[in-house]
Chains A and B, each alone.
Chain A
Amino acid sequence: MLFSSMLFEQPQTELDRATVEQPECFGDLNLDQIVDAVTAGKQEYNLKPFFYMPLHDVEAVHYRHEIFRALENSALLETIQKFAKAIRAIREHLEQAAKLYYKGQKEKWFLDAVQIYCDAVKQLADDLSQFDLCARGLLAFREFLTNYVNTDSFRALHEEAKQLGADLATIRYTIHIKGNRVQVRKYEEETDYSAEVEETFAKFKQGAVKDYRAKFPNWQEMNHVEAQVLTGVAQMHPEIFSRLANFYAQRQNFLDETIGAFDREIQFYLAYLEHRARLQRAGLVFCYPRVSAQDKHVCADKAFDLALADKLVSKDTPIVCNDFFLKDTERILIVTGPNQGGKTTFARMFGQLHYLASLGCPVPGSDAQLFLFDQLLTHFEREENIENLRGKLEDDLFRVHALLEQATPNSIFILNEIFNSTTLQDEIFLSQEILQKISALDALCVCVTFLDELAALSEKTVSMVATVMPENPTERTFKVERKRADGLAYALSLAEKYQLTFDDLRERLP
């Protein structure tokens, strides 16, 4: 099998990948936060575009699942991480080489970069051969790598770099400083005088004492005195230093393009797994969802909002997980309940799960069956134009209309408190209309609302309610459960708590 990419089995004919833009739904679903968190510290790989390309094909998802699963083998993961670290070091070395001023120094940084490269590539080829791989992507890459390290050109490069490095390492010299005169000579086995001084006073040794060694700034750059010393050293070893100069001149394009691409693409997996590990340490679970482009009976157990979880874990706050499922003709989840009760979080979670599944990633939750959508359409209440209510309603309607225009039966809708800028009657009417349309499309939908009336609209709708603690209605559980919308009970208990019931008010009012 010919290796093409760690991310796609089939060579991509899509538009130039670098020009891919962030999907519309990112802001509403906080996917932008998730991707920021996942790719944090990996800016050099430019991973974000990879997260902007959802897959629509089950096989493509499986291709990535295979690689993810393979990397769950910690030994393999370490192997890859070790390689990534080496490549990163190479980049740093080359950047350093570019910055430096003195020739002998520049050339050495370059030589080191090449040595690291050859060692790392060879090591990776050796290491990968130890693993029993079945992920198609990894198998193809290993085959490529094995061929590459056996090419004459790679071997020659490796040999030359090694020899040059070893030769430089043998050089030892002395510097004699007296006043403003400096003399550089070959080292002649002069004895270590510090050791002699230490030895003389060793008998007084009593245990740990202060370290009086001065700390010297460890600049990568040389000053002109060091550079002159190096000139002296080079004069004493002309052959080695001329080989170094040649090496630098001739070996500029040593890094193989395919290996460079592998290094970048594999970071998509590493980045996601590292992020996942952080949350797993907090006790959260992830799973490989079953995906389908036909079956709309989606479900998930113990799922959570990945963006929120990330924040809560940093604050050491417990995370509430939620379940959902759709059976038979059910397509639309109507989420009601008190403010700040976890409704929006639930809706985002539903959207995130589907989006992450479409990237071929493991998703938050202990088990999930998810739908491979063609479009993930979101409409969240926006803050803008608060002054002009009519304008806002118009804007809302315009946007929802645009969503419906582009929607197909394979789209997913996430609607959050739409039309709340108008009168209750209007809102009920408009919402019902929109839901009817979605229902007619047979598309999947989550709709967050405070309108209980929507909860039992048709056989396609399922009511879910954000619950509160029975004994203290002001305390949220952040659990969203499948049950009949019961806004009234909640309102009553809250009224009692604030002494606003009919009886309370009679007592209180004069």
Chain B
Amino acid sequence: MKVFLMHRARDFDLNAPLPTNAQDLIQDLELDTLFQAMAGEDEFLLGVARQAVLSGFDNDLDTLRYRQKVLKDCLNHAALVREMYEIAVQAIERERKNYWGITSNYPPSTLHRGREVMQMFVEMLKKLRAIADAHAAQFQSDGFTTLFAMLQRELTDEYFARVQTHLRALKFDDGVLISAQLGNGNKGVNYVLRKPHNSDQSFFERVFASKPPAYTFYIADRDESGARALAELEGQGINLAANALAQSDDHILAFFKMLRVELGFYVGCLNLHARLAEIGEPICFPIVSAAPERKHSFQELYDVCLALNMEQHVVGNDVNADAKNLVIITGANQGGKSTFLRSIGLAQLMMQGGMFVPAETFSANVCDALFTHYKREEDASMASGKFDEELKRMSEIVEHLAPNCMVLFNESFAATNEREGSEIARQIVSALLERGIKIFYVTHLYEFARSMFDKHLSDALFLRAERHTDGTRTFKLMEGKPLQTSFGKDLYERIFGGENPIAVETNGRE
């Protein structure tokens, strides 16, 4: 019994190793906001959301399309999906509450618990099948169709009846029959639990059936060591059956856990969708292309985390960066450059997790890995200089880089003078481009941006934070060649209220 809602033919691995830079991604892209929105109050969903979003780089295009379809079903039948999720949660909770006795190394107690848990699971499985019976036809995706068909096929009424028969038989009201052979020193070995030949006969048949001769003895009432020895013998007999039952319980538990995990991802998406719907932000299912292709075009792409935090509609961007390997973003401070860069990263991660993305339309190629190189606040505890630290981080990233990866630079290598920083940036970016790595680079290193622009690269796109002639920002990015100032002047004016406007020609940073 498999769930297979995340992958067509394998389980979702909640413990798969995350990219080594997962922590950087979380920090730079403010992913916690996204995860929180998906999880709501549910700690478990938080874990699932985090895993699904951060492990997306391993998904192939088919998997992404598979998930998109399942997610569409979920959006259409949110209440049913949440109900199934609740069933899984309940089954897991009730199993957990059925405590083990003092010792689990005692087959009768293993058997007893095994029966009770199985009884409860059967009840839960019946509920799942009832949903499948009633609603299977309304679902379109391969994922749900397969899951429902599997439930109906495996969990027939006849099967449930057979399980009941076993649960009754495993009470051993007629005693325990064990076969054995002579082992070392003629001690009994290979104890195997047996089903008596006449177990299906009626009471009268059993009473009058002829039995082979037996050697019979009794354990005296006061013989405590004898009683213990007998219990041990009996334990050896039912050991395997008790184990089989307890393990089956574990397997069913694993099924419910997997159901909880995989539905959990979609419940997370439903939660996020509900939040965005409240704010009135659009979503769309992205058109995905293979990693070697160069696609990146969208309309109204917005920073979903910013929208969630502000709880209101935020400015989106329209860009066509198809066939581009390099996108350099320059322009006014506070002009939405960082927000834009974050929206690129978030959309990439959501897309590769199989989710919808925060945009009206979105089409992009997947990447094999996503890296962020953001300038970091100065860390007082750090002995090495800031520029040194930046280069060190870059070097760590380079350890993991390969063609068709994607790197988001935010004001990188600016912790030195502009000339040196530009030179470093230019060398690094040029090398990365040569290796087929896709780059988004937010920078106010004018020399760097300008030198890249002057190369007239066909696969480079230059965007600029827009400002109106009156100095106010639109937070929209437009295509445009790098300009020498970052409009720190505006900031200065806003803060200083127009005093001394002459002194403004800064390289101030966001």
Contacts and interface: CB of A to CB of B under 8 A. Distances in A.
Interface stretch (A209-217, A310-318, A411-419, A481-489): A209-217
17 contacts: A105-B187, A106-B185, A112-B185, A175-B188, A176-B175, A177-B176, A178-B175, A183-B214, A185-B213, A193-B241, A194-B192, A201-B252, A204-B248, A214-B107, A214-B110, A223-B229, A225-B219
Contacts of B166: 196-197, 200
B498 interface: no
Given A173-B180, A184-B216, 17 more contacts: A108-B182, A171-B181, A171-B182, A178-B175, A181-B217, A190-B196, A191-B195, A197-B170, A197-B245, A204-B252, A206-B254, A211-B243, A213-B243, A224-B225, A224-B226, A225-B229, A225-B230
Nearest to A189: B197
A96 interface: yes
Contacts of A177: 175-176, 178, 230, 233-234, 237
Given A109-B185, A178-B175, A231 B229 contact: no
A205 interface: yes
Nearest to A178: B175
Nearest to A174: B179
B215 interface: yes
B194 A190 contact: yes
B226 A183 contact: no
B105 interface: yes
B154 interface: yes
B154 A203 contact: yes
B217 A232 contact: yes
A230 interface: yes
B229 A232 contact: no
Contacts of B162: 200
Interface string B192-228: 1111110000000000000111111111110001110
A216 B242 CA distance: 14
Nearest to B154: A203
A200 B195 contact: no
B175 A226 contact: no
A181 B216 contact: yes
Contact of A201 (B217, B221, B244, B254): B244
B39 to A, nearest CB: 25
Interface of A: 96, 100, 104-109, 112, 168-169, 171-188, 190-194, 196-198, 200-201, 203-207, 209-216, 220, 222-226, 228-233, 235-236
A197 B186 contact: no
Contacts of A96: 185
B229 A224 contact: yes
Contact of A204 (B174, B232, B234, B251): B251
Contacts of A203: 1, 154
Interface string B241-271: 1111111101110110010000000000000
Interface residues of B, number: 71
A201 B248 contact: yes
Given A171-B181, A185-B212, A225-B233, A180 B219 contact: yes
Contact of A193 (B180, B193, B225, B234): B193
B184 A112 contact: yes
A248 B473 CA distance: 105
B251 A201 contact: yes
Contact of B218 (A105, A180, A223, A235): A180
Nearest to B220: A180
A194 B1 CA distance: 21
Q: Taking chain B's interface residues, is the majority helix, strand, or loop, or is none over half, making it mixed?
A: helix
A194 B244 contact: yes
B233 to A, nearest CB: 6
A232 B106 CA distance: 27
B233 A172 contact: no
A174 B178 contact: yes
* 8 smallest beta-carbon distances between A and B, as pairs: A178-B175, A232-B215, A201-B248, A190-B194, A204-B251, A194-B240, A225-B229, A212-B246
Given A174-B194, A178-B174, A233 B251 contact: no
A212 B184 contact: no
A42 to B, nearest CB: 25
A112 B182 CA distance: 12
B14 to A, nearest CB: 13
A372 to B, nearest CB: 51
B261 to A, nearest CB: 13
A192 B192 contact: yes
A68 to B, nearest CB: 37
Nearest to B189: A218
A190 B174 CA distance: 15
B162 to A, nearest CB: 6
A168 B183 CA distance: 9
Contacts of A225: 219, 226, 229-230, 233
B117 to A, nearest CB: 12
Nearest to B181: A172
A391 B218 CA distance: 81
Contacts of B237: 175, 177
Contacts of B239: 213-214, 216
A233 B193 contact: no
A197 B241 contact: yes
A168 B213 CA distance: 20
B214 A226 contact: no
B179 A187 contact: yes
A185 B197 CA distance: 13
Contacts of A181: 175, 216-218
Contacts of A197: 166, 170, 241, 244-245, 248
A112 B237 CA distance: 26
B180 A172 contact: yes
Nearest to A105: B185
B230 A180 contact: yes
B225 to A, nearest CB: 7
